[in-house]
Structure 1
Amino acid sequence: MKRSTHERRPGRKQPKGRIAILSVIAAALAGIVIWIGVNDWNVTKTMEQAGLAESSAELTEAPEQQQKPLKQPEQPAQTEKQEPPVTETAPAEPADADDAEEPEEPFDGGYVEGQTLPKEPTYVNGILVANKKHPLPEDFAPGEDKAARAAFEEMAAEAKLSSFNLTAFSTFRSYDYQVTLYNRYADRDGQEAADRYSARPGYSEHQTGLAFDIGEVNHEKHWASESFGETEAGKWLLANAHRYGFILRYPKNKEDITGYMHEAWHFRYVGKEMAEEIFKKNITLEEYLGLE
């Protein structure tokens, strides 16, 4: 039977040259594997030892450095906010003596300086007056007015129907108490500032027993604060107090008349009829009594 020309004949040997080449390649590969293993299987380290570091770095490390941003140095943790230091500088001197401002006259706070306390309180048209021009006797101590208290309780009861729990946190104050209170404010803020919101002893309307400082229970942060007038309770009080005989004693923009800055919490009992008229005309007690 005739054999196919494509069949390998059994027992035919491979050329010696090819075997030698394959042996050399196998030996070289084995050497490379052993070399890499000696370098902890670090191909880059192996290439560096082979003198290929520069070219390999260009091929592998450069692209990574372009894509990965540099790590910023860590900042120390801040445990407390540091405020910038405060520096003090002396006020600049006027360029010319003629440009200097004239010294202001001493501020009297609206009082009649040198005035002594009277022996009897002042009444105008039957209304007890206590302001910076009309002081009270040192020993005048009627206590809290009963009619004013009754009117307040009636007003507070109606306010509760609108969910406002009103309280009078300061009413009658004695002369001696006012001495302590005023001196504390003057020591803290200076006399000029204190005279705008606190009465000197003998001049306080609280000494009449007719002045009620009013606030809302559980809202003490608004007590004796202008913010009380912005609360719903304060707005209700302003709109309804006259119906019970109370007036807002120190309204806004009337300091030049009353002598005191606006107090949203300070109400004065004058009776329903007078309170109604003062409220409708939007005037102060001084204006109503002609004491401007």
Structure 2
Amino acid sequence: MQSRYNYLQGKKKKKWPYIVSGTIAGIFIGVIVVWVGMNDWNIDKSIEELRNLTEVKQTVEVGKTGESIVEKPIVEEPVQEIPVKEVPVVEEVDMSGANGYIGHEILPEEPTVKEDIVIASKKYPLPSTYAPGESKEARAAFQEMTAEATLSGYELVAFSTYRSFDYQTQLYDRYVTNDGQEAADRYSARPGYSEHQTGLAFDIGEQHFEQHFARESFGETEAGKWVAANAHRYGFIMRYPNGAEKITGYMYEPWHFRYVGEELALKVYEANVTLEEFLDL
């Protein structure tokens, strides 16, 4: 027969599960009350916050248990748009009309010379009979320049120098046929008006880079930049610089250099002006 002591002890043991479960339930209810209170007593908001917390926990990498690692979603950075550089529009020069030729249509009997420089432009044409050939002095200066350029890694060539009146006629007529006279007058001289007829104009390019011959792109090449920065030391000036079409009558030609001698070339280069501006032509 069970003693009263043992009976009372058994009753106490049976109470412990209820006490523990009641305590846990109380704590759980307290946590719920606190969580809801933290979310402004909004039950829907509390449930949503709990769901977000669970999702964040699931994205944590597991490294020690050997379980599969849940990768975090990759957020792509927005692609930065690079602005397109606009090409400036070159205004066509009037120069008294017809791209500078009006009033200067008759070829003279003698070339115009100013400060010992033979002038050939839309305002100052040459006689059709003027045929000096390529200047030996200019050729010697060019060879000196190419020798130094070679030391810097550039193999320069003069792909066009002296042109006779007849040859310039053929070229100009071809350009007019292809592009029309108005366009041709911006990049090619009419016969009798070309600097190439003086034998002092050198069209310069880089050997093995013929794609830049007679192209504005030559000015962007390392060889073109070298020539632009050093040609004056050998007596050459860039005859038709960028942005000077209203003054020279011709488009930007970073390949076209005119021999004027070292002294004058240095002055023109340092003044950063065209030959027209320097000599007041």
TM > 0.5 between the two?
yes
Measure the CA separation in 2 of the matches of 1:186 and 1:115. Answer: 17
Matches within 5 A, 1:2-151: 108-113=98-103, 115-151=105-141
SS of match in other structure, 2:247? helix
SS of match in other structure, 2:157? strand
Q: 1:107 Cα shift?
A: 5.3
SS of match in other structure, 1:168? strand
Question: For this pair of structures, how many residues does the alignment match?
Answer: 187
1:203-262 residue CA offsets vs partner (Å, 9 max, x unmatched): 000000000000000000000000000000000000000000000000011101101010
Residue 227 (1) aligns with residue 217 (2) = yes
Measure the CA separation in 2 of the matches of 1:187 and 1:276. Answer: 39
Paired letter, 2:148: E
Q: Quote the residue 1:236 is aligned against.
A: 226
1:128-185 residue CA offsets vs partner (Å, 9 max, x unmatched): 0000000000010000001000000000000000010000000000000010000000
Structure 1 runs of 4+ aligned residues shifted over 6 Å read none
Measure the CA separation in 2 of the matches of 1:207 and 1:278. Answer: 22
Q: 1:109 Cα shift?
A: 1.1
Contiguous gaps of at least 5 residues in structure 1: 1-103
Q: 1:126 Cα shift?
A: 1.2
Measure the CA separation in 2 of the matches of 1:261 and 1:285. Answer: 15
What is the aligned counterpart of 2:199 among 180, 198, 209?
Answer: 209
Q: Quote the residue 1:153 is aligned against.
A: 143
Do 1:196 and 1:261's aligned partners in 2 also have CA atoms closer than 8 Å?
yes
Residue 246 (1) aligns with residue 246 (2) = no
Contiguous gaps of at least 5 residues in structure 2: 1-93
Q: Quote the residue 2:82 is aligned against.
A: none
Do 1:107 and 1:192's aligned partners in 2 also have CA atoms closer than 8 Å?
no
Paired letter, 2:98: D
- What is the TM-score when the length of structure 2 is the normalising length? 0.65
Measure the CA separation in 2 of the matches of 1:129 and 1:114. Answer: 14
Measure the CA separation in 1 of the matches of 2:256 and 2:190. Answer: 16
Paired letter, 1:143: G
Matches within 5 A, 1:251-266: 251-266=241-256
